[in-house]
Structure 1
Amino acid sequence: MWLNNELFRSVIASTPLISIDLVVQNSLGECLLGQRLNRPAKGDWFVPGGRILKNETLDKAFSRLTLDELGKTCQRYEARLLGVYEHFYADSVFAAADEGPDTHYVVLAYQIVLAKGDVLQPPRTQHNAYRWWSLDDMQTCEHVHSNTRAYLDALQ
């Protein structure tokens, strides 16, 4: 169920959002990151992912999000749960910091390991660029969001 902007703004201001983050690794162990177009974390490099919708099962959400974010449907049973994380942002999709509601996410992070030769066609609706990152580069680059770097401990 999609919410109109006024109702969604109220939800963001009132309650945590529940989402799935997709920590996608290629056969070389590199992670796929996209440079975010929208708040929160606009301009930062971040793993793909998105919100779970009302009355959507985890399996359905995972399939929808992998198709929407990666251009390829993956099943949740093919992935590994890395853990549950909390993300807090001073801004939201609606406003810059100190002007609108802040955002709180409860995130289920899943690792997806692609087979050699698997190709993704991620759309550019949430990210304006995509890049494969080594784990070392992710750890040291200040433009990789700290919430994305938090997943590295679970990968090693």
Structure 2
Amino acid sequence: MLSPTEFLDVVRLAPLVAIDLIVGDADGRVLVGQRRNRPARGTWFVPGGRIRKDERLDAAFTRIVDTELGIIGMQRITARFGGVYEHLYPDNFAAENGIGTHYIVLAYAFTLDSAVPVGRFDQHSQYAWLAPEDLVARDDVHPNTKAYFC
């Protein structure tokens, strides 16, 4: 595992690769969480996470679904690949001036029962189910999340 200083060097020098989870329910709503951490702190964002060095996509997907949603053992094959996206942020996890964060994001979509509680609170302070048209209209939903629905 990298130290925070080493990881900041990676953020400064290279893009990160991540998976975002486009979680829908039977009513067509989408799960978003209000971010606790940089980048995008305070905005509503779909759950997701970075892929680790030497981690296979299948393993990363399963880990991220568990870490972000509390659902153990979900397989990537159960989700629909939604495309590749690019997220650029002017800040970084350490709030170091002059270092932005660049993500290459693989989006995966799947449906869950909204009556079943999901979400862990390490990365998000709260969760909400929003209709896509409401999500796109809100000022507090991050533009990178809105891009999945425009």
Q: Distance in 1 between matches of 2:115 and 2:55?
A: 28
What is the CA distance between 1:123 and its match in structure 2?
1.1
Tell me which of 123, 139, 142 is aligned to 1:126. Answer: 123
Runs of 4+ in 1 over 4 A off after TM superposition: none
Residue 93, structure 1, aligned to residue 93, structure 2: yes
Q: Distance in 2 between matches of 1:78 and 1:100?
A: 40
What is the CA distance between 1:77 and its match in structure 2?
0.3
The CA RMSD over aligned residues, in Å, is 1.3
SS at match of 1:69: helix
What is the CA distance between 1:37 and its match in structure 2?
0.5
What is the CA distance between 1:62 and its match in structure 2?
0.2
What percent identity do the matched residue pairs reach?
Answer: 47
Q: Per-residue CA shift, 1:16-56, capped at 9, x if unaligned?
A: 00000000001111000000001110000000000000000
Paired letter, 1:34: G
How many residues are paired up? 149
- Cα pair 1:94 1:100 within 8 Å, conserved: no
Aligned to 2:52: 53
TM-score (norm 2): 0.95
Paired letter, 2:134: D
Aligned to 1:136: 133
Residue 104, structure 1, aligned to residue 102, structure 2: yes
Q: Distance in 1 between matches of 2:128 and 2:87?
A: 22
SS at match of 1:151: helix
Q: Any residues of structure 2 matched to 1:5-154 within 5 Å, and which?
A: 5-73=4-72, 74-95=74-95, 99-114=97-112, 116=113, 119-153=116-150
- Cα pair 1:53 1:61 within 8 Å, conserved: yes
